[in-house]
Amino acid sequence: MKPELMVERLDELAIELPSWGFADTGTRFGKFQQDAAAVTIEEKIADAAHVHALTGCCPTLAVHVLWDFRDDLPAARVAALAKQHGLAIGAINPNVFQDQQYKWGSLTNRSAPIRKMALDHILDSIRIGRSTGSRFLSLWFADGTNYVGQADLIERKKWMVAALRQTHAALPTNMTILLEYKPFEPAFYATDIADWGMALLLARAAGPRAKVLVDTGHHYQGANIEQIVAWLLDENMLGGFHFNDRRYADDDLTLGSVDPYQIFRIFHEIENHRFRTGRTPKIAYMVDQSHNLKPKIEAMIQTVDMAQQLYLKAALVDRPALAAAQKNEDLVRSENLVRDAFLTDVRPTLSQWRRRHHLPLDPLEAHRQSGYATRVAAERRQRHGPKGGGAYA
């Protein structure tokens, strides 16, 4: 691909940031707080806007309904505040997993009143999405069972289908359901939406504006995620991603920190779909990470920078040559055509794109030199009290 086209290709890549990625979160065992971590939605928006200003490709912010909206700051005002910072509100994420009534599940709870409570919250989230202009309703459920015989698995499936159909019926015409799957945690025997096949069937049952969301951390070890992506693309059912990396399961590590080749292979299949069909697939690229150890803004910048590089690398594969090598069963040439693209240094091209858009050539170093983290840590300590995380964290 010509260098000029490579630079232009980056204009296509928009990456949504998660509001919760700027806040203090943790594991089941505890969390290490950071003084610079955002507490309010106003602070989360400010941090996301800072990342967007440095990277130029993060124009939207995903929000969690229970964590990001207050009685004194309704949805329309949150959207207006985001717009003042040069952002838009992205995916709306309902929360039907943290409250006590969801101990036995939400949409698949044995209790009809609790199922209705969960569905009502999701419908309320759609109304919030209307107010914010959001295009996506992102659904993840902790629903499942931990023991054999605990519940009727097909009964739970039918409850889920019924609720998703009601959800789809309430969508505005510009909104799409992104249905996420996860093989385990917190349910360890039978998760109600455990894999991409279940998510695909449920999305189709819900209606035509329901697609599958692939979280790159939500798979068993050894799963061929890029093949899943290729199949979902071919079925026109891939709606979006939650980007992260993992060593074991849902580790929420920065993108490419463990296996950048895997993320490259995913982008490679997306590019292959474009080559085969002549169409650019409509995919919502989103980050889903929250870091205990790395400074949160630095982690986001690392992830965005890596995503841009791997996206460029995938575009370098000589696809006509690859198709010819595959036709001739030339395994070595086929592999090398893909691997050589991965090994190409695309940072000069990325620098050209940043110059064109008047962005810092090294957004991470620009962030460190800006003093932003030190300044907001001091402001937030004064506003919320000390958290013991250190001034720079």
Global pTM value: 0.96
SS3 208: coil
> Using one digit for the tens of pLDDT, what is the confidence trace for 259-314?
999 999 999 999 999 999 999 999 999 999 999 899 999 999 999 999 999 999 99
pLDDT band (50, 70, 90) for residue 390: very low
Is the omega angle on the peptide bond into residue 172 within 30 degrees of 0, that is, cis?
A: no
Name which of 137, 21, 25, 128 is nearest 69 in CA terms: 128
* pLDDT band of 388, cuts 50, 70, 90: low
With 50 as the cut, is the pLDDT of residue 392 above it?
Answer: no
**How far is it, in rounded angstroms, from Cα 70 to Cα 7?**
41
320, with CB counted inside 10 A (0-12, 13-18, 19+), is: exposed
Tens of pLDDT along 85-121? 999 999 999 999 999 999 999 999 999 999 999 999 9
243 token code pair: 């980007």
Structural domains for the chain: 3-384 (3.20.20.150)
Round the CA-based radius of gyration of the chain to a whole number and report it.
21
Measured at the CA of 244, the angle between CA 240 and CA 247, to 5 degrees, comes to 135
How far is it, in rounded angstroms, from Cα 294 to Cα 254?
Answer: 9
Give the model's confidence band at 36: pLDDT under 50 very low, under 70 low, under 90 confident, else very high: very high
